Amino acid sequence: MIDKQKTLKASSSFTGKGLHTGKTVTMTILPAESDNGIIFRRVDIEGQPEVEALADYVVDTSRGTTICKNDAKVYTIEHIMSALWSMGVDNALIEINGPEVPIMDGSAREYATRIMEVGLQEQEQDRHYYELKEKVSFSIPEKGVSIDIEPADEFTVSVEVDYNSRVLGVQNSSFVEKGDYKGEIAPCRTFVFLHELEPLLNANLIKGGDLENAIVVVEHEISEEEIARLTALFNKGEVKVTNGYLNHLQLRFSNEIARHKMLDILGDMALLGKRFKGKVTAYRPGHYANTETMKIMRKAQ
């Protein structure tokens, strides 16, 4: 049976702040014609410039995936791309009135839920599949990062993360073609280690981060002075450390960190622009490794 391309049955809008810019934006996802692919349109810029969601246009991977073409730049696209692609959407026009996709609760849950509620429209054109003829690999040995993609009869992804963390330990996640993305992957939130917060803030990032849209992992004991500083930083009445995490955070899965890395890699692999049959094995994947692997594949097609 030949797969047909799909788009959304109706448009859907989301409003929220960007994780890194902190700016409140409204993003509307509209149905699109066959072979359109997924395109972002900056409606707040004169001329409403567009940028295709392709690895060719990735310009930054600092704690998120940023694409840019001419005057159109869009930050942190990986969560919406992950939801659209994994839920079966091939074609969509995403209008956004600011520079960054809303972070929502730090996961893709609301995006996936809305896509399911709106429903998909099958289109006349067949889906285009990337022909994977041989193994593709990318690695950063000094960081223990590697991604291997081998030809296979179906699409599968395995992720392992190990940050030498006493709190997280070694975590694994797997995903199969037509698996339960909405229930098993989409709800998993972004995360950060406590010791990374200050450098990120100093780098002008995570302006929109708070304890509602990110898991903060605490590796070591912290002082009362540090807790007071964090309380002021997050503008919270009280900040606590519970079981290695800031505040009374209820993990949605015991391996939520690995599952979020799965969410991210699925979104970044969507930037190939075509679906493919292959076995993906990833160790400590990140946006740079993910998108560089897709660039390799795009250049080889």
CB atoms within 10 A of CB 65: 28
Contacts of 218 (CB under 8 A, 6+ apart): 167, 193, 194, 241, 244, 245, 246
Which residue type is seen at 10? Answer: A
List all residues 6 or more positions away from 224 whose beta carbon is below 8 Å from its beta carbon.
none
Tell whether 172 is covered by a domain.
no
Flag whether 28 is in a domain.
Answer: yes
**Rounded Cα gap, residues 67 and 156, in angstroms:** 26
Q: Is residue 160 part of a domain?
A: no
Question: In the prediction, which pLDDT does 72 show?
Answer: 95
**Which domain range does residue 232 map to?**
191-246
**Active-site residue flag, 287:** yes
Structure letter (DSSP) for residue 209 = -
Overall number of domains in the chain: 2
**pLDDT tens for each residue of 11-30:** 999 999 987 778 899 999 99
Give the confidence band of 208 by pLDDT, cuts at 50, 70, 90.
low
112 in the same domain as 207: no
| Mean pLDDT for the chain overall | 92
Q: Considering 246, 261, 282, which residue would you say is the last residue of a domain?
A: 246
pLDDT tens per residue, range 124-157? 999 999 999 999 999 999 999 999 999 999 999 9
Q: What are the residue ranges of helices labelled H in 97-236?
A: 109-118, 181-184, 194-202, 224-234
| pLDDT confidence bin for 278, thresholds 50/70/90 | very high
CB 170 within 8 A of CB 161: yes
CATH number for the domain that contains residue 83: 3.30.230.20
